[in-house]
């Protein structure tokens, strides 16, 4: 224990010695350092921390302290602040020091910001200090205003106001800015040029600036500020609006000498130094075209209508500049306008505006035209440009120069020409042919020298001439890729110029395409059209009854030789020739194509093939292209299929089912049925047998089915699914839409018929906002657009007796048709009230009431008839079953109501009244009895013989009267298209339903007979065949 105590004492002594050494070391270091401290005593003012640093280092003196209610007077080195005031050092002193703040208690200036704000509430100053001096730089702020001055007892401070012993309160006064806006009408008169000046005055002051007086501008008081402006915080604007001094722009006809001016023009208001758009010309001068407006009657420089014209300080009169209009004889340029006013050299301005602007001069004395560097002359209201030159013959079919055709040299000025060919030379004349009947140039020339005459056209750029070819004429276009006539007509002039009408495309020229009667037509869009010219002959039993020029469009995809393991197929690309060669021989005929499918017609035999690049395969049963809801479907008949929608095509496998349907398996699978050129996708929701009270509905899943009723029998129907509702349609249904509506209970497999007769869909008449309204039979209605998209829903009321009702939009609906009245009528139409005239009209012993729903009631004596109204204005038609009434109205008066009975015929409907009759769309003509049930329709030599019989009418055609015979029988017609057709099998009554030249179509006991007359008392019966022959 003693040993431990000795050890503890020894350790303690050692630790004490170490601590003493460390203390002495730190004390000596502190005593030897140069760091000093500067302290600040503020006596309750703003506390300022001490600064400790090395002696001699730069420091930033602190800001003066503040003390509420006191004024800082300076720093002192003694605590009593009785010595001299000192400046705070900017460099640390050599030893520590304390600075003492001296304060004096001064009176306060209290700042009243008058609803605004200040940085401090008070400012202190020594008694007697000028208040302006004490408040220098002190301001107040208030939103929307500018500080103006300080007020003392309601007046601005002056130099004499001093700080009182007890302090003082001053109040801020503010100024408000206002804008002086001067708006001057711009040069076009469609707006203003605005100048703004910002001024200011005391808040609450009333200002009324004096209006400036700009020269040639008038103050518009209606668009200017007219009351003093009381200045307040915010925007203060005083507006002066000025219009330009009005001027007048007048127009004079300035008709050419010897020409009477027609028309008139009112003076046009204008503005001082303004810009006016020049109007078109309201004057006319026979034989002249308006060119523009000039500032002098004899000026040739002019301003064009529609352009801008700048006025000066005075009224202006502009004079019409007239020009003779001349068309381009070659129909390749625009219209030439030759000004009536002459230039200083006696010539006249010549101008072509379109397609390119070309200017020139015309000398009337010499009939000399200079236009864009070319010379020419005027003839027959046209202008011709110099075509002088030497031209070499050109073979249009071969599309190359052919010197054997000769060389032609033209002298435009003399009208002379020299034709050289085969070593001989003929000198003669040439003219650019003019058609007096049409008033147009024919588009080609004629050369004549003795007995030699020929027509030709020239191409100045190529330096060639072309003689007239046999291909000239009009041709209907047939496209084998569509198997139809396109509706376009190609016109070739025989000299290389082409035009195309009926389809929106524009042809320009044509040239040979290499083969006999083959031509390449250039289109204005840069495309080309290769065609084969010929005629199409239509015949029955070998008797040709019609022949017309046609051209076949070349399709490269259907041109060439296609091969397969079965043989070869050769197509000419026009549809004219197809040859299928197999082991058993060759089959030759014409063809039509659609996509990859080619159909070969060889007499009564038809073969179908599917093309795949340069190969082909026979098309199986059911092959073809079909349109449907999923896109364009192609079946090759061998189990392969493709479906194209938009720009995407997917392939799949097509499998026939025993029911005659098919399945498609690819990216998606579905069942479908084809009919004609369409396919329908199977929909299981409309498939099955559904029972109903007193009958049932059997649906095939494709929108068709059978409706069975114990009382009404069986009907074939079409069905549309709308949610859990079937809309079943049949012409046999007695509803307005031909539709019955059934609700579906899929749990029990039963359906319930909606008893309401109005249920169904109706086309809306009298609005463009929606296309269809559907009534559900129980007060609910929906509106749809033409694509079947729902637009709005609501409710309806309906009176079956009047067939009228109302529609009201649902409470939360938002649609333009929020409410309307309607009438339903046969044909599934819903007529909106107001879509047709309404009102009452009275005449002698007759009256007419138009209901505004497209119908009207005509009362004559004790009889009334209701019908549909057609027409507008004072001439209307009331159609009631087989009777039509022509109504003439004026004001509220019914001037006349003439009844006409309707008769049907091969040439449309005929309406017969008392002494007059008219056809659909025609005007009334005299109608008089001629005996034996015949009538004369019309007057004079143009009157037609008409027969009325059994609600039908017949027109007498002498060409249809008589008897014609053939080996198979005899046809007898009475001239009215009625008669008999006798064969060894018997005689049937017949009636002509179509007569076109020597071709007839007859209705014979419900069968249609196609007959061609040979014009020599013979005829043939059979099917119509067509054949193409080249020129």
DSSP letters of 490-505? EEE-SSSBEEEESSS-
Question: Residues 563, 609: contact at Cβ < 8 Å?
Answer: no
Residue 876 pairs in a beta bridge with: 871, 887
Please give the C-alpha separations between residue 446 and each of 433, 438, 452, 465, 907, in angstroms, as whole numbers.
7, 18, 10, 12, 47
Q: How would you classify the pairing of strands 237-244 and 268-271?
A: unpaired
Question: Residues 751, 691: contact at Cβ < 8 Å?
Answer: yes
State how far the Cα of 427 lies from the Cα of 415, in Å rounded to an integer. Answer: 11
Q: Give the chain's length.
A: 1031
State how far the Cα of 310 lies from the Cα of 304, in Å rounded to an integer. Answer: 13
Residue 830 lies inside a defined structural domain of this protein: no
At 31 the pLDDT is: 44
Q: Which two tokens stand for residue 690?
A: 């559904």
DSSP strands (E only) in 891-924: 893-905, 908-912, 916-919
With helix as H, strand as E and coil as C, how does 226-267 read?
CCCEECCCCCCEEEEEEEECEEEEEEECCCCCCCCEEECCCC
State how far the Cα of 384 lies from the Cα of 5, in Å rounded to an integer. Answer: 144
Q: Which two tokens stand for residue 167?
A: 């302090």
Burial (Cβ within 10 Å: 0-12, 13-18, ≥19) of residue 1031:
middle
CATH number of the domain residue 90 falls in: 2.60.40.4270
Q: Are residues 73 and 167 in the same domain?
A: no
Q: Which two tokens stand for residue 46?
A: 């703003």
State how far the Cα of 126 lies from the Cα of 151, in Å rounded to an integer. Answer: 20
E strand or H helix at 2? helix 2-32
Residue 653 lies inside a defined structural domain of this protein: no
State how far the Cα of 772 lies from the Cα of 784, in Å rounded to an integer. Answer: 5
Residue 969 pairs in a beta bridge with: 966
Q: Are residues 168 and 96 in the same domain?
A: no
State how far the Cα of 568 lies from the Cα of 582, in Å rounded to an integer. Answer: 7
At 806 the pLDDT is: 96
Q: Are residues 130 and 226 in the same domain?
A: yes
**14: Cβ contacts below 8 Å, ≥ 6 apart:** none
Residue 915 lies inside a defined structural domain of this protein: yes
Q: Are residues 125 and 227 in the same domain?
A: yes
Question: Residues 485, 503: contact at Cβ < 8 Å?
Answer: no
Rg (CA), the chain: 52
Question: Residues 313, 277: contact at Cβ < 8 Å?
Answer: no
Domain boundary among 920, 954, 988: 954
Q: Which two tokens stand for residue 931?
A: 């005996």
Please give the C-alpha separations between residue 427 and each of 459, 694, 698, 1024, in angstroms, as whole numbers.
21, 99, 90, 55
State how far the Cα of 353 lies from the Cα of 875, in Å rounded to an integer. Answer: 47
State how far the Cα of 740 lies from the Cα of 446, in Å rounded to an integer. Answer: 75
The low-confidence residues of the chain, meaning pLDDT below 50, are: 1-32
**pTM, 2 dp:** 0.64
Residue from 881, 871, 769, 747 nearest 830 by CA:
769
- Residue that has been written with the tokens 């009102």 in this structure: 839
How many domains in the chain? 6
Phi/psi at 1012 (nearest 5 deg)? -115, 130
State how far the Cα of 100 lies from the Cα of 97, in Å rounded to an integer. Answer: 10
DSSP 124-137: E--TT-BHHHHTTT
Q: Are residues 282 and 380 in the same domain?
A: yes
Quick one: residue 976, left, alpha or beta (phi over 0 = left, psi -120 to 50 = alpha)?
Answer: alpha
CA dihedral 955, 959, 960, 961 (to 10 degrees): 100
State how far the Cα of 283 lies from the Cα of 263, in Å rounded to an integer. Answer: 4
Please give the C-alpha separations between residue 773 and each of 286, 754, 851, 868, in angstroms, as whole numbers.
58, 17, 21, 21
Angle at CA of residue 399, ends 395 and 400, nearest 5° = 70
Residue 845 lies inside a defined structural domain of this protein: no
Residue 353 lies inside a defined structural domain of this protein: yes
State how far the Cα of 339 lies from the Cα of 320, in Å rounded to an integer. Answer: 11
**999: Cβ contacts below 8 Å, ≥ 6 apart:** 538, 540, 545, 546, 1010, 1011, 1012, 1013, 1024
DSSP state of 19: H
State how far the Cα of 571 lies from the Cα of 599, in Å rounded to an integer. Answer: 11
Q: Are residues 962 and 942 in the same domain?
A: no
Structural domain span for residue 379 = 246-384
Domain boundary among 104, 120, 143: 104
Q: Are residues 424 and 452 in the same domain?
A: yes
How many CA within 13 A on the CB side of residue 414? Answer: 10
Please give the C-alpha separations between residue 327 and each of 335, 354, 381, 388, 606, in angstroms, as whole numbers.
5, 11, 7, 20, 55
Domain boundary among 195, 225, 244: 244
CA dihedral 725, 731, 737, 739 (to 10 degrees): -10
Q: Which two tokens stand for residue 842?
A: 């009275």
Q: Are residues 233 and 150 in the same domain?
A: yes
Distance from CA of residue 207 to its chain's centroid? 55
Residue 98 lies inside a defined structural domain of this protein: yes
- Residue that has been written with the tokens 């064009």 in this structure: 304
At 401 the pLDDT is: 96
Phi/psi at 771 (nearest 5 deg)? -110, -30
Residue 327 lies inside a defined structural domain of this protein: yes
Q: Are residues 988 and 1022 in the same domain?
A: yes
Q: Which two tokens stand for residue 873?
A: 């204005």
Phi/psi at 62 (nearest 5 deg)? -75, 160
CA dihedral 483, 485, 491, 497 (to 10 degrees): -40
Q: Which two tokens stand for residue 727?
A: 């809309």
Q: With H, G, I as helix, E, B as strand and everything else as coil, classify residue 926.
A: strand
Quick one: residue 542, left, alpha or beta (phi over 0 = left, psi -120 to 50 = alpha)?
Answer: left
Sign of CA dihedral 195, 199, 204, 209: negative
**151: Cβ contacts below 8 Å, ≥ 6 apart:** 157, 170, 171, 172, 173
Angle at CA of residue 189, ends 186 and 194, nearest 5° = 30
Question: Residues 926, 918: contact at Cβ < 8 Å?
Answer: no
Q: Are residues 159 and 260 in the same domain?
A: no
Residue 888 pairs in a beta bridge with: 875, 896
Q: Are residues 935 and 1008 in the same domain?
A: no
Question: Residues 679, 656: contact at Cβ < 8 Å?
Answer: no
Question: Residues 586, 580: contact at Cβ < 8 Å?
Answer: yes
Q: Which two tokens stand for residue 952?
A: 């039908």
Q: Are residues 982 and 919 in the same domain?
A: no
State how far the Cα of 290 lies from the Cα of 278, in Å rounded to an integer. Answer: 13
Question: Residues 842, 859: contact at Cβ < 8 Å?
Answer: no
Residue from 737, 593, 751, 634 nearest 686 by CA:
751
At 619 the pLDDT is: 93
- Residue that has been written with the tokens 């007892």 in this structure: 153
Question: Residues 796, 809: contact at Cβ < 8 Å?
Answer: no
Residue 713 lies inside a defined structural domain of this protein: no
């Amino acid at each position: 224990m003693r040993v431990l105590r000795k050890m503890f004492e020894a350790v303690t002594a050692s630790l004490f010695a170490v601590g003493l050494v460390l203390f002495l070391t730190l004390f000596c270091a502190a005593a030897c350092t140069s760091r000093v401290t500067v302290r600040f005593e503020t006596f309750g003012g703003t506390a300022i921390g001490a600064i400790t640093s090395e002696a001699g280092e730069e420091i930033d003196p602190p800001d003066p302290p503040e003390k509420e209610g006191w004024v800082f007077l300076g720093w002192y080195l003694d605590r009593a602040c009785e010595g001299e005031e000192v400046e705070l050092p900017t460099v640390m002193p050599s030893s520590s020091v304390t600075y003492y703040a001296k304060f004096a208690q001064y009176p306060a200036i209290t700042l009243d910001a008058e609803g605004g704000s200040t940085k401090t509430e008070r400012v202190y100053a020594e008694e007697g200090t000028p208040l302006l001096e004490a408040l220098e730089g002190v301001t107040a702020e208030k939103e929307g205003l500018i500080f103006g001055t300080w007020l003392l007892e309601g007046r601005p401070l002056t130099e004499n106001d001093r700080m009182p012993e007890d302090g003082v309160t001053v109040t801020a006064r503010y100024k408000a800015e206002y804008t002086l806006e001067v708006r001057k009408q711009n040069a076009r008169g469609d707006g203003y040029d605005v100048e703004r000046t910002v001024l200011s005055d005391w808040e609450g002051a009333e200002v009324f600036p004096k209006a400036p007086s700009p020269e040639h501008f008038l103050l518009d008081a209606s668009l200017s500020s007219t009351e003093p402006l009381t200045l307040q915080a915010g925007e203060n604007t005083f507006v002066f609006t000025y219009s330009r001094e009005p001027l007048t722009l007048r127009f004079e006809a300035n008709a050419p000498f010897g020409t009477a001016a027609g028309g008139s023009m009112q003076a046009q208001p204008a503005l001082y130094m303004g810009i006016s758009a020049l109007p078109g010309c309201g004057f006319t001068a026979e034989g002249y075209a308006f060119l523009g407006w000039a500032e002098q009657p004899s000026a040739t420089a002019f301003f064009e209508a529609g352009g801008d014209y700048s006025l000066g300080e005075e009224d202006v009169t502009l004079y019409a500049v007239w020009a003779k209009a001349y068309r381009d004889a070659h129909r390749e340029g625009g219209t030439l306008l030759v000004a009536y006013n002459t230039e200083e050299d006696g010539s006249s301005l010549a101008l072509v505006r379109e397609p390119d602007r070309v200017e020139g001069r015309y000398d009337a004395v010499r009939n000399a035209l200079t236009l864009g560097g070319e010379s020419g002359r005027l003839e027959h209201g046209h202008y011709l440009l110099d075509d002088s030159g030497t031209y070499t013959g050109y073979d249009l079919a071969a599309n190359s120069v052919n010197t054997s055709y000769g060389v032609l040299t033209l002298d435009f000025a003399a009208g002379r020409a020299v034709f050289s060919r085969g070593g001989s030379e003929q000198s003669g004349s040439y003219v650019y042919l003019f058609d007096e009947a049409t008033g147009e140039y024919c588009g080609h020339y004629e050369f004549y020298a003795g007995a030699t005459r020929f027509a030709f056209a020239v191409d100045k750029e190529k330096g060639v001439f072309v003689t007239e070819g046999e291909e000239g004429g009009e041709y209907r276009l047939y496209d084998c890729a569509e198997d139809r006539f396109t509706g376009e007509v190609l016109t070739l002039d025989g000299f290389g110029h082409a035009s195309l009408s009926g389809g929106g495309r524009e042809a320009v020229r044509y040239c040979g395409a290499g083969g006999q009667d083959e031509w390449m037509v250039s289109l204005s869009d840069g495309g080309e059209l290769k065609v084969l010219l010929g005629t199409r002959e239509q015949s029955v039993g070998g008797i040709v009854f019609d022949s017309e020029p046609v051209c076949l469009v070349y399709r490269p995809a259907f041109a060439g030789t296609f091969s397969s393991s079965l043989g070869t197929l050769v197509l000419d690309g026009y549809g004219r020739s197809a040859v299928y060669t197999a082991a058993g021989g060759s089959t030759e005929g014409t063809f039509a194509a659609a996509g990859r499918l080619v159909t070969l017609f060889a007499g009564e035999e038809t073969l179908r093939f599917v093309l795949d690049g340069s190969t082909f395969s026979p098309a199986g049963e059911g092959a073809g292209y079909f349109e449907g809801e999923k896109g364009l479907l192609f079946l090759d008949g061998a189990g392969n299929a493709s479906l194209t929608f938009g720009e995407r095509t997917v392939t799949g496998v097509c499998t026939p089912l025993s029911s005659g349907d098919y399945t498609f398996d690819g990216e998606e699978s579905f069942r479908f049925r084809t009919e004609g050129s369409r396919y329908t996708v199977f929909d299981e929701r409309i498939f099955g047998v559904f029972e109903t009270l007193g009958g049932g509905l059997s649906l095939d899943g494709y929108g068709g089915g059978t409706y069975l009723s114990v009382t009404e029998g069986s009907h074939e129907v079409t069905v549309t699914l709308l949610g859990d509702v079937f809309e079943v349609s049949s012409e046999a249904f007695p509803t307005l839409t031909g539709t019955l509506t059934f609700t579906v209970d899929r749990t029990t497999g039963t359906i319930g018929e909606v008893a309401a007769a109005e249920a169904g869909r109706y086309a809306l008449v009298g609005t463009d906002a929606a296309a269809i309204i559907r009534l559900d039979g129980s007060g609910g209605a929906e509106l749809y657009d033409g694509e079947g998209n729902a637009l709005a829903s609501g409710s309806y009321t309906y009176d079956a007796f009047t067939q009228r009702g109302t529609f009201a939009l649902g409470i939360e609906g938002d649609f333009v048709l929020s409410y309307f009245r309607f009438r339903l009528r046969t044909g599934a139409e819903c007529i909106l009230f107001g879509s047709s005239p309404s009102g009452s009209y009275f005449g002698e012993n007759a009256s007419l009431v138009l209901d505004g729903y497209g119908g009207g009631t005509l009362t004559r004596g004790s009889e009334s008839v209701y019908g549909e109204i057609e027409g507008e204005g004072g001439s209307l038609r009331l159609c009631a079953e087989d009777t039509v009434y022509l109504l003439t109205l004026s004001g509220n008066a019914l001037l006349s109501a003439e009844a006409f009975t309707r008769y049907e015929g091969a040439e449309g409907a005929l309406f017969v009244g008392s002494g007059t009759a008219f056809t659909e769309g025609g005007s009334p003509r005299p109608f008089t009895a001629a005996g034996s049930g015949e009538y004369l329709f019309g007057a004079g030599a143009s009157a037609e013989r008409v027969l009325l019989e059994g609600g039908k009418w017949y027109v007498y055609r002498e060409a249809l009267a008589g008897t014609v015979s053939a080996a198979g029988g005899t046809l007898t017609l009475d001239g009215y298209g009625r008669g008999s057709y006798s064969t060894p099998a018997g005689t049937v009554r017949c009636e002509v339903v179509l007569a076109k030249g020597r071709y007839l179509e007859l209705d014979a006991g419900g069968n249609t007979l196609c007959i061609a007359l040979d014009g020599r008392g013979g005829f043939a019966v059979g099917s119509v065949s067509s054949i193409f022959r080249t020129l």
